[in-house]
Amino acid sequence: MGYVKLPIGPQHPALKEPENFTITLDGERVVNVDIRIGYIHRGIEKLMETRTYTQNLYLVERICGICSYAHVYNFTQNVEEILGLQIPKRAEYIRTLFLELERLHSHFLWLGVAGHEIGFDTLFMYTWQDREVVQDLLEMISGNRVNYAMNAIGGVRRDVSQEHRKKVLESMDYLEKRAEFYKNVAINEKTILARAENVGILKPQVALRLTAVGPTARASGISVDIRKDDPYASYLDTPFEVITTDTNDVLGRVVVRVLEIVESIKIIRYLMEHLPEGDILKKAPRKIPEGESISHTEAPRGEDIHYLHSNGTEKPDRYKVRTPTLANLPATAEMLKETYLADVPIIVAAIDPCMGCMDRVLLLKDGQEKPGELISGEQLRRYGIKWYAERGWNA
Amino acid sequence: MERIDILLSIVYLLLFPGFLFLFAFSLFTEYLDRKIYARIQRRVGPPFLQPFADLVKLSAKEDIVPEKAEHFMFTAAPLIGLAAIFAAFLYLPIVSTTGLHSFNGDLVVVLYLLTIPTLAMFLGGWYSGNVFGQKGGMRVASLLFSYEIPFFLALLTPALLQGSWKMADITRFEATHPLEFVVSLLGFFIGLIALQGKLERLPFDIPEAETEIVAGPLVEYSGRRLALFRLARDAEMVVGAGLIAVVFLAGPEPILPLEPVYLSWLVAALVFLLKTLFVIFLLILLKSAVARIRTDQMISFAYQWLIPLTLVQIFIAIIVRFFGGI
């Protein structure tokens, strides 16, 4: 057949969000991969400039449907940094609890998605059922399953009661057993091994050069974890280990995530057993003084960086988000080289992509990328009228 | 061959155990497949009539032939596939020792007819004018030999043991010599795995791997044509499982000489159904415990394991026959 170009996306069952991977195939072998992003840019950064800090708490949470809390944590940390506000210790612990619960449900979710990508739907159903346990905990404490609305500037909005603590600890015992089970499945199931071992190789030097972050980097033996490298929340108090493997392949990424589930469970246990007494919220002013702040956290998918520039009003002057998926995409293009078509979905899934969070605007002309060009709203309107007129579509 | 009058053979052909029965039984196995698969995955699964409702609804949907597709082949492919399977079904012994028609070599005819749906799948994908369809079609064609050879060879083992290519003889022989099952046990499992490949089910659903090439050959199919393809797939499962039940598990045998003769037919059909369902149950178990493998892995699996093991099985059969049989 010669070379065939196969468009994976923007609409494709392997991708849960629209992005385009154009794959050049020689039979079943991948010769070349072109990644094009920009299909679901939502303009959240710009939108944030039009809203107050309190409103932005809820907007920033909606950057991502999975690691929503990592984003809102970054946002509050930025604002509190500029305010010079020290939040109560109990609030800090509760925030850490949410960060870790989120990591748990994100990793369980990922495990299921990875199973689905290689056609192992039974694993998918099993992990998603266990994820419900975490979701129930989140709902029990915060009242919400996905966008918890837990944070306020200066603390958290809801307290963790004695019953909550008991229930969380009980659930952790169950989840630990399940994590053990999934570890056994991942390293013993023959068909999983066949699909994950030596697939999507990312060498440590390459991972560093291409700025891989999170579990993707850790599976290449690079010990990066913001929780350890630059501790935030109460990670300084809690004992845990940074998991790395040196297999550099998809299997390594599975193992890292499964072991991180176990570490998260350890952290949550510690937090619940050592939860300090005290307030959970400090009053914060509506107007934020002029200043800038940068905050990064270890979201379930990797390092999540937020930048805030305030100008002394109720609204931010500039807000900037860099999510881990964007950092991992160059490495993905590298991993996809010289693989089989069948490996493409699992390799892309192995970075745990969240396309909607990371998307950027690309300016295209005749299908080619071209340097950016700023136009005013009025110009855009005129351009729109012209565009429709040329096609005879005038109303 | 015994003489059956015309009315009876029309009933046989159209109602029981002919087309209508196959139609109903295929949908029932799809229900079982989905239900058991769901229960294993701790889901609820579909209600009993869901496969039928799906089929009806799909038939009523808009049926599109893409501009780039070859209209004739695109339409013919599902029909050819379905027709071949329905034809193959008529040869299976269900209510008595023979099917509608029985002769020396009918086993080979059924095996050949069961290959046609695969070819129909390839043609449908190839002529759909879609790059995913063509990729899927290529995969169908390139995987054909990796399961077809072990399937043929494994199913010929009982024939070798018995010395006849006639399914009626094979089932008769098995009913009287239960030890035969033990000797051909290896062949039974090879046949099962190869059938799983033939039906393009996990872990061999490579041609229509959803997350890779969307739906493979079926990607451009919609409405009636897709419904036909799906029906053909279900029927293929019944006929394939039925064939294994006949060749290895003695099909409807032992047939009890009951009075009236209808009663004995009914019991025979029930025995056949139970055996077929047992085979299908094994197929479902296999499906729910594995991930999809890659094309190259499937081919090397077939040539490194399945085919050598089949040859071992055939060797065993020859040795047993050489030393005077069972």
Q: What residues contact residue A259 under an 8 Å CB cut-off, 6+ apart? A: A183, A243
pTM for this prediction: 0.85
Interatomic CA distance for residues A79 and A292, integer angstroms: 9
Residue ranges of chain B whose pLDDT lies below 70 = 1-4, 325-326
CA angle in degrees (0–180, nearest 5) for B308-B312-B316: 170
Q: Could you tell me the residue range of the domain that residue B241 belongs to?
A: 6-322
Using the beta-carbon criterion (under 8 Å), do B131 and A4 form an inter-chain contact? yes
Interatomic CA distance for residues B153 and B311, integer angstroms: 8
- As given in the structure block, the two tokens for residue A69 are 């809390």
Using the beta-carbon criterion (under 8 Å), do B293 and A194 form an inter-chain contact? yes
- As given in the structure block, the two tokens for residue A279 are 């307030």
Among A42, A53, A47, A96, smallest CA distance to A78 is for A53
Residue by residue, pLDDT tens for chain A (395 residues) are: 578 888 887 888 888 888 888 888 888 888 888 888 888 888 888 889 899 999 999 999 988 888 889 999 999 999 999 998 889 999 999 999 999 999 999 999 999 998 888 888 888 999 999 999 999 999 999 988 888 888 888 889 898 989 999 999 999 999 999 999 998 888 888 888 888 888 888 899 999 999 899 999 999 999 989 988 888 888 888 888 899 998 888 999 999 999 999 999 999 999 998 989 888 888 888 888 999 999 999 999 989 999 999 988 899 998 999 989 888 988 988 888 888 888 888 898 888 888 888 877 766 666 666 666 677 888 888 988 888 888 887 65
Q: What residues contact residue B277 under an 8 Å CB cut-off, 6+ apart? A: B29, B32, B241
Using the beta-carbon criterion (under 8 Å), do B131 and A6 form an inter-chain contact? yes
Q: Does A123 touch chain B (CB under 8 A)?
A: yes
Among B140, B291, B209, smallest CA distance to A195 is for B291
Amino acid letter, residue A18: P
Task: Report chain B residues whose CB lies below 8 A from the CB of A121.
Answer: 41
The shortest CB-CB distance from A342 to any of B40, B212, B288 is to B212
Residue B122 domain-assigned? yes
Task: Report chain A residues whose CB lies below 8 A from the CB of B40.
Answer: 122
Residue B275 domain-assigned? yes
Task: Report chain B residues whose CB lies below 8 A from the CB of A347.
Answer: none
pLDDT digits (tens, 9 = 90+) for B112-145: 999 999 889 899 888 888 888 888 888 888 888 8
Using the beta-carbon criterion (under 8 Å), do A194 and B297 form an inter-chain contact? yes
Mean of per-residue pLDDT scores for chain B: 86
Residue of B nearest to A195 (CA): B293
Task: Report chain A residues whose CB lies below 8 A from the CB of B43.
Answer: 125
Using the beta-carbon criterion (under 8 Å), do B291 and A343 form an inter-chain contact? no
Q: How many domains does chain B have?
A: 1
Residue of A nearest to B133 (CA): A6
Note the ipTM here: 0.81
Interatomic CA distance for residues A68 and A96, integer angstroms: 14
Residue B154 domain-assigned? yes
Q: What residues contact residue A372 under an 8 Å CB cut-off, 6+ apart? A: A363
Residue B56 domain-assigned? yes
Using the beta-carbon criterion (under 8 Å), do B296 and A121 form an inter-chain contact? no
Q: Does A344 touch chain B (CB under 8 A)?
A: yes
The shortest CB-CB distance from B211 to any of A116, A125, A340 is to A116
Among B204, B78, B56, B216, smallest CA distance to B143 is for B204
Residue B257 domain-assigned? yes
Q: What residues contact residue A129 under an 8 Å CB cut-off, 6+ apart? A: B42
Using the beta-carbon criterion (under 8 Å), do A341 and B212 form an inter-chain contact? yes
Confidence (pLDDT) at A370: 64
Interatomic CA distance for residues B175 and A60, integer angstroms: 72
Interatomic CA distance for residues B180 and A122, integer angstroms: 36
Output the 3-class SS for chain A. CCEEEEEECCCCCCCCCCCEEEEEEECCEEEEEEEECCCCCCCHHHHHCCCCHHHHHHHHHCCCCCCHHHHHHHHHHHHHHHHCCCCCHHHHHHHHHHHHHHHHHHHHHHHHHHHHHCCCHHHHHHHHHHHHHHHHHHHHHHCCCCCCCCEECCEECCCCCHHHHHHHHHHHHHHHHHHHHHHHHHHHCHHHHHHHCCCCCCCHHHHHHCCCCHHHHHCCCCCCCHHHHCCCCCCCCCCCCCCCCCCCCHHHHHHHHHHHHHHHHHHHHHHHHCCCCCCCECCCCCCCCCEEEEEEEEECCEEEEEEEEECCCCCEEEEEEECHHHHHHHHHHHHHCCCEHHHHHHHHHHCCCCHHHHCCCCCEECCEECCCCCCCHHHHHHHHHHHHHHCCCCC
Confidence (pLDDT) at B309: 92
Interatomic CA distance for residues B231 and B250, integer angstroms: 26
Confidence (pLDDT) at A189: 85
β-pair type (A368-369, A151-152) = unpaired
Residue B53 domain-assigned? yes
Confidence (pLDDT) at A218: 92
Task: Report chain B residues whose CB lies below 8 A from the CB of A129.
Answer: 42
Interface of B with A in 280-299 (CB under 8 A): 288-297
Confidence (pLDDT) at A71: 92
Confidence (pLDDT) at B1: 44
Residue B1 domain-assigned? no
Task: Report chain B residues whose CB lies below 8 A from the CB of A118.
Answer: 211, 291-292
- As given in the structure block, the two tokens for residue B177 are 């010599």
Using the beta-carbon criterion (under 8 Å), do A122 and B203 form an inter-chain contact? no
In the sheet where A20-26 sits, what is the strand order?
A3-8, A20-26, A29-36
Give the domains, in start order, of chain A with CATH numbers.
Answer: 44-333 (1.10.645.10)
Residues B69, B131: contact at Cβ < 8 Å? no
